[in-house]
Structure 1
Amino acid sequence: MHDVVIVGAGPVGLFLACELGLAGCSVLVLEREPEPGSPFKGRPLGMRGLSAASMEAFYRRGLLHPLLTAAGVPDDSGVDLDSDELTPPRQGGHFAGIVLDGAKVDVAALPYRLRSPAPEGLLTYLETVETVLSEQAAKLGVDIRRGVAVDAVVQTEEGVVAGAGGDEYPARWLVGCDGGRSTVRGLAGFEFVGSEPRLTGYSMHVTLADPEKLRPGFNLTPTGMYLQPPGGGQIGMLDFDGGAFDRSQQPTPDHLQTVLRRVSGTDVTLSEVHLVSTFTDRAMQTTTYRQGRVLLAGDAAHIHSPLGGQGLNTGIGDAMNLGWKLAATLHGHAPDGLLDTYTGERRPLVERVLDWSRAQVAAMSPDPHAQAIQGVIRDLIETRDGTTYVLDRMSGQAIRYDLGSEHPLVGRPAPEFRLEDGTRLGDLMQDGRGVALDFSADRLLRGSATGWESRIRYAAGAARNDLGLGAVLVRPDGIVVWAGDRSPDREAFERAAGHWFGSPETLAV
């Protein structure tokens, strides 16, 4: 029996497998597709954007260099590592098709941020991300079996059994990471709620007879939206048809040309369609992320339109949040209720992501009221404060979990602190443990950290920029759970450590 069976070998399932493997759990990944490659994961339709938060996750697990190398990006990424001060992001992105200027970001308005070696974002392909994570999973002893389509999920007194074509795969826990049409979600009886679609989106690899008739970039029109990225050959478009064309239908070349002409307002001609995928803006999530010993992550737990590139990044956030909590539960030192905080923390955050998606769709709708709203949003985004707000939300670094503390840093992603000897927080997090950083002159936490060594890594020393703090306690997923002033309270630290990491006397099973 494995500790965990993960259904789905996409980026979310593989990232979670790496987290659990890093924690010493036995992990089996079951993937229905017989081969890892797919035309929809490579060039050109497989391009995705990794946010600053996702890049930080790869960096803090020692995967930044492999990812950048696989993506063909220079490893130095142009970041001035001699400075801890933030600079405006070089990448902008868009909100509802309105392109953002990263140079307008007011970095002074971003609380508790320090410069990191991780780039603020990366455009790459799904197959690149999956290759890097598959190689890491293999190094950690994760068993990946392809061509296995799960068709049954049965919970028992000892755990849960995944069935596939008559074969059984027992485990103590099962996690569905099998996408928006999740089989696990249905088999385990999760309730899926939300809003129905207003549009059908298309991503196409095509040859145009007259490409000059389409303007480059994002183009909002009175009848929809179309996108022509640099380089040609790829077209995206949104048709507000109520979601009539989803993945259950295969659009014909004639249909695609009709839609493109309608949303672009031109008589452009498609001479050849090489590849096409469709999507809708259906925005839904499960009412809980756990049913007994079955959990969900990524699109299996929540779906929405790809506008703004939040889907993949939200799924990676799920994997980071769940991995260490499930591992602690398996090893027997999780405090009471720790695993339930996965739903408690992620579900409200994802609801904000769903609303973010809904807001963009509403602003892009081809009706006079939406066009008026779009004009107001455009004016606001062109201001310094507006750009800062939108790009901060898109970065994934603006999250804050309600952890019951009034300290403004608690519940937020930890800044990339750097000690005077050059050691960075990211260096300390690569083994998957929590980190206690003690900046106080008399090292007040040194004795208090004793007993948690298997779960918390203690590091002491003055910081290049301590942001006015004396010490911080960081969870394995990079979230600050306690912060102290220049003379940190040892008892408060011990309470926080016990609350999140269990009793120091608890031995791993």
Structure 2
Amino acid sequence: MVVVGGGPVGLMVAGELLTRGVSVTVLERLTEPSDTIKAGSISGRTVEVLERAGLGAELAEIEQRIMAAVAKPARGGGRPGARGHFAGIFKLGFTPEELPVAMELLELRPRGLFEAGEAGRASIGRPMMIMPQLELERVLDRWVARLGGTVRRGAEVTGVVADDDGVTVTLASGEPVRCRYLVGCDGGRSTVRRLTGFAFPGTAPTMTGHQAIVELTGADGLAMGWNRTDTGLMVYGPFPGRVLTVEFDGPPADRDAPVTAAEVQASIRRVSGVDVTVTAMRTGTRFTDNARLADGYRRGRVLLAGDAAHVHSPFGGQGLNLGIGDAANLGWKLAAVLAGDADETLLDSYSGERHPVAERVLANTRAQLALLRPDPQSAALRDLFTELMDLEQVNWYLTSMIGGLDVRYASDGHPLLGRFCPDPGLVTADGSVPLAELTTDRAGLLLDLADDPAVGAAAAGYAGRVRVVTARATNVGDLTGLLVRPDGHLAWVADGTAPADLAALSTALTTWFGPARRSPCR
């Protein structure tokens, strides 16, 4: 297997494959990881995905170190009770005091829905985690190394030719690399996407943004946090020296030109009206609201993930989470095909499930840009939107959309089917067990919550692919059985109102894990 692109998404794909015994080589154009400032946090859903890959403790240690170095936490920075934002309107989420009432008003407990442990946290999901993209990339790089993966830096791809049996990748050096499947995770200007015929339709950029870590003088007049002005958007903080500006005067003249301190300084002055001086810049980048989505995520033996498949503005901090979600969805499916446990049709479900998720992100980032524009019409719309966000239903709708909590890979059946499975509060004969401790082998997980031998027997032909655990659960109401896919989404639900539907369980096992294997004769 070859993955092109050694950023967080490419490394996540590689790790998902390596944990399942697939040999992987990652080809990365850059000789060293880029220290350009990018995403600064990951959503609670992404935290859960990474915890279930066994990376939770390492990530928590990094966040604690970062937070200890910051005198004042980020406004809306994801600590319990803090507000998230939509277009810089910091009203998303509920405080612990608001949550019980909000849960009742929102009617988030249809029959069989997970009961809300800790005043609703289990249903609403984990808080976001402060995690700069570079730190996450380092964690994933170490993970891939521990698993025996190979990351070849300075390996620029210049050619991709696919055939019925595999893919030949040509490097700038002229070296050919042969693989059975190729996953392009090489960013918004993906060489893999361009060379393999994926269309990339969307909307052209309308604004220019800058984000940088700088040293400033004359900054006393800058207001902390998000501030709309007559000329754009200015964000100052929450970390020392972090600035972000947005000007709605079209895209940059030269997206590829080096970002200079003078350029950032001029943008700050234009947007804020404060005559600051940038005396030093540690890192800086430009961005736009260019929003495009590949017409599909698979062309035969070539697949796309992350920014290679979709690009959009950074508002809401959704891009990194969207890419990690792609990797979690694709990795186990590709490994199953490579192992011969499933046929190639399983890979079609990757595009079928993830493409609509990206469409939704592109739509809401375009909406956020509309609310941020400095014209009077947008200001009036923003005022109305701010009032609407005080309604619990609107608040929950936006909170779940930005956090990816509303993703569902099913269109009918039980309301939990296709949704991500939060920790059910499992208690086994050995005591309480976090769900993350049962998923580090990256297999599927069949939870028998009613001590029904027939449930476990249905998975008898899936040894090594599906782990069966008999337990009691404290956060699942009347549910008596759950089949959790390796990406954390539910493939089968027994709600306790009738005997477990074993035929439906058998269908789900075959659909997602391939045919059962006969036990060897003794």
Query: Do Structure 1 and Structure 2 share a fold, with TM-score over 0.5?
Result: yes
1:470 aligned partner, one-letter code:
T
Which residue pairs with 2:87 in the alignment? 96
With over 3 angstroms needed to count, the CA separation of the structure-2 counterparts of 1:336 and 1:189, relative to structure 1, is closer
Q: TM-score, normalised by structure 2?
A: 0.88
CA–CA separation in structure 1 for the residues paired with 2:415 and 2:79? 22
Deviation at 1:259, TM superposition (A): 2.7
Counterpart of 1:78 in structure 2 is none
Alignment counterpart, residue 15 of structure 2, candidates 15, 18, 24: 18
Aligned counterpart, 2:157: 150
Count, aligned residues: 487
Does 2:292 align with 1:296?
Answer: no
2:214 match: 206
Give the structure 2 partner of residue 81 of structure 1: none
How much has 1:506 moved relative to structure 2?
7.8
Compared CA separation, residues 21 and 506, structure 1 to 2 (3 A): farther
Q: Which residue of 2 aligns with 1:138?
A: 145
Q: Secondary structure at the match of 1:145?
A: strand
> Equivalent residue for 1:469?
479
- Root-mean-square deviation (CA), in Å? 2.3
Deviations 1:431-455 (A, max 9, x none): 1111111112433302111001221
Select between 331-340 and 219-228 the one with higher mean Cα deviation: 331-340
Contact persistence 2:336–2:342 (CA under 8 A): yes
Q: Are the aligned partners of 1:440 and 1:488 in contact in 2 as well (CA < 8 Å)?
A: no
Q: Quick check: 2:92–2:398 contact (8 Å CA) kept in 1?
A: no
Structure 2 residue 402 is matched with structure 1 residue 394: yes
| CA separation of 1:73 and 1:475: change in aligned 2, threshold 3 A | farther
Cα distance in structure 2, aligned partners of 1:212 and 1:436: 58
Report the residue type matching 1:488 in the other structure: A
Range 327-336 or range 358-367, more displaced = 327-336
Q: Which moved more, 1:390-399 or 1:218-227?
A: 390-399
Partner of residue 479 from structure 1, selected from 485, 489, 492:
489
SS in 1 for 2:433: coil
Q: Gaps spanning 5+ residues in structure 1: where?
A: 76-86
User: CA separation in 2, counterparts of 1:271 and 1:139?
Assistant: 41
Tell me, in whole angstroms, the C-alpha distance in 1 between the residues paired with 2:239 and 2:298.
44
Are the equivalent residues in 2 in contact too, given 1:246–1:278 (CA < 8 A)? no
SS of 2:353's partner is helix
Quick check: 62-71 or 241-250, which moved more? 241-250
Which of 119, 132, 135 is the matching residue for 1:128? 135
Give matches, 1:85-484, under 5 Å: 89-100=80-91, 102=93, 103=95, 104=98, 106-108=102-104, 109=106, 110=108, 112-113=113-114, 115=121, 119-164=126-171, 165-245=173-253, 247-335=255-343, 337-402=345-410, 404-421=411-428, 422-484=432-494
1-structure distance, mates of 2:154, 2:391: 51
The 8 Å contact of residues 213 and 243 in structure 2, kept in 1 or not, is answered as: yes
8 Å Cα contact 2:167/2:301 also seen in 1: yes
Q: Aligned with 2:161: secondary structure?
A: strand
Q: What is the rounded CA distance, in whole Å, between the counterparts of 1:144 and 1:55 in structure 2?
A: 24
Measure the CA separation in 2 of the matches of 1:236 and 1:296. Answer: 30
Mean CA deviation greater in 14-23 or 259-268: 259-268
What residue in structure 1 maps to residue 35 of structure 2? Answer: 39
Contact 1:418 1:465 in 2 (8 A): yes
Give 1:266 shift. 3.5
Offset, 1:127: 2.2
Q: Deviations over 1:143-165 (max 9, x none)?
A: 11111111111113420011112
Unmatched runs of 5 consecutive residues or more in structure 2: 68-77
Q: Which amino acid aligns with 2:27?
A: L
Structure 1 residue 335: deviation in Å? 4.6
Q: 2:53 aligns with which of 61, 73, 76?
A: 61
